[in-house]
Amino acid sequence: MQDRYSEATKMVSKAKTQFEQIGDQQGAAECLQSLGNIHQMQARCSEAAEMLFSEATEMLSKAKTQFEQIGSHQGASQCLKILGGIHWIQGRYSEATEMFEQIGVQLGAVQCLQSLGNIHWMEDKYSEATEMMSKAKTQFEQIGDQQGAAQCLKSLGNILEMQGRYSEATEMLSKAKTQFEQIGDQLEAAQCLQSLGETHRMQHRYSKATEMVSKAKTQFEQIGDQQGAGQCLQSLGAIHQMQGRYIEATEMVSKAKTQIGAAQCLQRLGDIHQMQARYSEATEMLSNAKTQFEQIGNQLGAAQCLQSLGNIHQMQDRYSEASEMLSNAKTQFEQICDQQGASQCLQSLANIQRLRI
């Protein structure tokens, strides 16, 4: 594939030179645009992506300038659109939005707004995330994009759930689910059901939570989404765990192990053993889960396992080991901007200090 890109680059470069020699600015600009496109496509399947995206950006910017000089608005707009796409792929959403807005590509601009909202959400900046997602939802509605609007509704519901505003979250997620069903998007509708189940679980409405998560699991299975079905099994295990039904919880999580990441299931099983005061088994499972999370680069999972291991040591009055693990977990949570996790570790460390007095 890379060889074909190399051949294409040589041919287009030769054509560009020939156009320049005969004074055909339009042809030369189109070749520059093509070269930018080649580098952009090459970057998507290359380890040297950053360098290739940089070269593509440089070429497309030059092509845009040349199109503008010869009065080709269409050519300049095409370059802007591709440049916006490159910025978006690189996660530079503000620059991408600016590019899309310059050419009036509403869909591209509003998708960038939606992505910015998702970034703020991941960073726990709920106010900014809500503002951007609400704007994106309105703009999707204005251009008649029902899918986009429903996705924003779902995200707004999830943001409200993260803030503990369960009543509002339920309303948003229910609306999103209805909209997804109307446009025939079974996957997104099932995800809404799953989130609604989680909302009920957090409010200790276990019967309702079980009903919704079970329905979501069935829907995921019907559309062949094993990952989604596995997550539902894990959620059902968590519901049983919160009710003290450890045998059923273990059974559910063990089933989920074949469908989703083994590390997540090991973590959940470790937590179940911890709740049963089976500290040796819990420590073994959580240590294995931590190692697996580290191997796949899942910092959150690894930090959560460290936190649980620290709590186990605390319960066994092994305060020195507990303090070390909880301090490390706190640092890891801070590195990934998980304020809740860091605060929980701080609280546990304060409890250890109090117990040592």
pLDDT tens-digit map of 43-90: 544 445 566 677 778 888 888 888 888 877 777 777 777 777 777 667
DSSP collapsed to 3 states, the chain: CHHHHHHHHHHHHHHHHHHHHCCCHHHHHHHHHHHHHHHHHHHCCCCCHHHHHHHHHHHHHHHHHHHHHCCCHHHHHHHHHHHHHHHHHCCCHHHHHHHHHHCCCHHHHHHHHHHHHHHHHHCCCHHHHHHHHHHHHHHHHHCCCHHHHHHHHHHHHHHHHHCCCHHHHHHHHHHHHHHHHHCCCHHHHHHHHHHHHHHHHHCCCHHHHHHHHHHHHHHHHHCCCHHHHHHHHHHHHHHHHHCCCHHHHHHHHHHHCCCCCHHHHHHHHHHHHHHCCCHHHHHHHHHHHHHHHHHCCCHHHHHHHHHHHHHHHHHCCCHHHHHHHHHHHHHHHHHCCCHHHHHHHHHHHHHHHHHHC
| Same structural domain, 251 and 284 | no
Domain presence at residue 160: no
Residue 136 lies in a domain: no
**The predicted structure's pLDDT at residue 40:** 59
The pLDDT tens digits of the residues spanning 191-203 come to 999 999 989 988 9
Please give the share of the chain, as a percent, with pLDDT higher than 70: 78
Full-model pTM: 0.52
Residues 5 and 96 in one domain: yes
User: Is residue 149 domain-resident?
Assistant: no
At residue 45, the pLDDT reads 45
Lowest mean pLDDT segment, chosen from 74-83, 161-170, 220-229, 289-298: 74-83
Pair (98, 29) in one structural domain:
yes
Residue 191 lies in domain = 176-260
Structure-model confidence comparison of residues 90 and 5, the more confident one: 90
**Same-domain status, 9 and 95:** yes
Domain count of the chain? 3
Residues 89 and 46 in one domain: yes
In a domain? residue 120: no
Chosen domain end from 199, 233, 260: 260
Do 248 and 292 belong together in one domain? no
244 shares a domain with 342: no
Instruction: State the CATH number of the domain containing residue 292.
Output: 1.25.40.10
Which of 260, 293, 320 is the last residue before a domain boundary?
Answer: 260
Residues 286 and 356 in one domain: yes
pLDDT on residue 113: 66
Residue 2 pLDDT class (50, 70, 90 cuts): very low
Instruction: Please compute the mean of the pLDDT values over residues 15-26 and round it to a whole number.
Output: 74
In a domain, 242, yes or no: yes
